[in-house]
Amino acid sequence: MTSPSDVELIARLAQRDQAALTALYERYANLVYSLALRVVQDGRLAEEVTQDVFMEVWNRPERWDVQKGRFSSWLLTVTRYTAIDRLRGERSRAEEMPYEDALGHQPGDDSLSAWAEAEALRPLLAQLPPEQRHVVDLAFFQGLTHSQIAEKTGLPLGTVKTRLRTALTRLREQWEDRGE
Amino acid sequence: MPPTAENPCERLADLIPAYSIGATDPDETAFVQAHLAECPEAVAHLAEFAHLAEGLHYAAPSAQAPTRLLTAIRRQIAPSPAVRALRPVRRWVQGIAAAATIALIVGINLFWAARLEDAERRQAVLRAQLTDQQTALALIGAADVQRVSLPAINPAIPDAPPAATLVSAPNQAVALLTVQYFPALAPDKAYQIWLIKAGRRVSGGLFRVDSEGRAMVIVRAPMALSAYDEVGITPEPADGSAAPTAPPIVRGPIWP
């Protein structure tokens, strides 16, 4: 028997079908938790973020539709910003947590094509020069803008812009080249 | 820093990588949104970097979600008598909130969200902005995308008339609308988009403009846009109207 598609499961959520949420959770919980953990760098906070994200899906399934692209990407976008919001809240109460690069872990659920595609991106990210990787980390995983990164790192604003643009351009080109 | 006489498309090209992951500052974000529709190369550039941004979401090191999480979520969604009694009202309220977020401006960073004081609403706004941006990126990647300018109707300031540009594809039910020089509205008002077919109008969403009369909006239609002939924009109450209650600011054919 084939498992129900994301579209079918989301439609069932609108009928308040708890089994549909469980199915989505089992399909995507590791993806969501992994990204949340990458952003907040704290297991307990990552759990809270994961729970918030799935409750958002439960409470507002209509927020996603097929036209918005694949469900998992939408879910991860929500995860990233929920985690960044949570991180900002935590920062106001605690010292910033050290950045721990855990690249190289094996994916837990590899059934998703996008995840498989990102397999190639992960080492490319790790191979960036440290100064470029750091600005990508601050911008993407911590949600900081150009000027916020400059303020945080003490680097000139122009340097931050150049580093981020160079890093992202390099990542995109190398990622595309590997697919050819 | 205000834009100079430089070619805006060149500056856009520099900003697109950071914009695609939400790292541009508010003034840079406004610049991208104001000029994106007029720079086809930048649109293509953005679509490429959006693909990278999507991939980065999957590039976090893999970790196993604790099993207790599912238990906690199941406990949270289990219906209780009190929750059941409240649900119809709650879902109605959520429906209103969802309708309000339809009007949200595309953009990743905190430009708009920072203006909202309530944290929960701010978070909802951020999420909606992101999903809207994904929608916009999917749209601008469509092969049959078309762009039309909507003419101003009786502009109050003839030298700087309201201007609107619609980027759409016939088989899509969403379109990308950019506006500029739109008059500021009272807090209890919003602009409403109308999709018109043979004199019948359906709402395509609500939006507000920034201090300079600019906005970038996702238009949502009940069906594919090929079903409509014209689009118009009128000022309406903030929650929207069932039909236009004021003359249009701009109105014109959807298709060139």
pLDDT tens, per residue, chain B with 256 residues: 444 456 888 899 999 999 989 899 989 988 888 888 778 788 778 888 888 888 898 888 889 999 899 988 988 887 654 433 333 333 333 332 332 222 233 333 333 333 333 445 555 555 555 556 656 656 655 556 777 888 888 877 777 788 888 888 787 777 888 888 888 888 888 899 999 988 888 888 888 887 778 887 778 787 888 888 999 999 998 878 888 999 899 999 988 7
pLDDT in tens, A3-39: 788 888 988 998 889 999 999 999 999 999 999 999 9
Amino acid identity of B166? Answer: L
Beta carbons of B61 and A122 less than 8 Å apart: yes
**How far is it, in rounded angstroms, from Cα B146 to Cα B241?**
28
- φ/ψ of residue A73, rounded to 5: -70, -40
Chain A residue numbers with beta carbons less than 8 Å from the beta carbon of B64 are: 30, 33, 108
Identify which of A54, A72, A77 has the shortest CB distance to residue B73: A54
Asked if A18 and B131 come within 8 Å (Cβ–Cβ), the reply is no
User: In terms of CA atoms, which chain B residue is nearest residue A80?
Assistant: B57
Query: Between A73, A82, A164, which is nearest B57 by CB?
Result: A73
Contact B63 A149 (CB under 8 A): no
Our CA-based measurement puts residue B152 at a distance from the nearest CA of chain A, in whole angstroms, of 30
In the prediction, which pLDDT does A144 show?
A: 93
Cα–Cα distance list, B58 to A41, A75, A121, B53, B233 (Å): 16, 11, 9, 9, 39
Position A38 scores a pLDDT of 94
- C-alpha distance from A61 to closest chain B C-alpha (Å): 11
Give residue A114's pLDDT band: very low, low, confident or very high (50, 70, 90): low
Helix, strand, coil percentages in chain A from 3-state DSSP, rounded to 5: 75, 0, 25
B56 contact residues in A (CB cutoff 8 A): 118, 121, 125, 140
* Chain B residues in contact with A161 (beta carbon < 8 A): 14, 18
Q: What is the pLDDT of residue B94?
A: 33
Q: Which of A44-48, A142-146, B21-25, B188-192 has the lowest mean pLDDT?
A: B188-192
Kindly determine whether residue B56 and residue A78, on different chains, have CB atoms separated by under 8 Å.
Answer: no
CB contact (8 A) between residue A81 and residue B23: no
Find the closest chain A residue to B73 by CA distance: A51
- Note the pTM of the prediction, 2 decimals: 0.59
Given a contact cutoff of 8 angstroms between Cβ atoms, the answer to whether A81 and B126 are in contact is: yes
Q: Are B15 and B32 in contact (CB under 8 A)?
A: yes
Test B72 with A51 for CB contact under 8 angstroms: yes
Q: CB A168 to CB B172 under 8 A?
A: no
CB contact set of B244 (below 8 Å; sequence gap of 6+): B192, B194, B201, B232, B234, B236
Q: State the pLDDT at residue B61.
A: 87
| Chain A residues with CB-CB distance to B131 below 8 A | 63-64, 68, 74, 77-78
Average pLDDT over all residues of chain A: 82
Nearest CB neighbour to B21, from listed A34, A64, A139: A139
pLDDT tens sequence across A61-113: 888 766 667 788 889 988 998 999 888 775 433 333 322 222 222 333 333 46
Q: How far apart are CA B167 and CA B156, in angstroms?
A: 25
Q: Which of B65, B77, B126 sits opposite A21 (nearest CB)?
A: B77
Which of A105, A139, A164 is opposite residue B61, by nearest beta carbon? A105
First to last CA, chain B: 35
Q: Which residues in chain A have Cβ-Cβ distances shorter than 8 Å to B21?
A: 139-140, 168
Q: Do A62 and B98 touch (CB under 8 A)?
A: yes
Task: Quote the DSSP letter at residue B206.
Answer: E
Interface probe for A, chosen from B19, B45, B73 (most Cβ of A below 10 Å), is B73
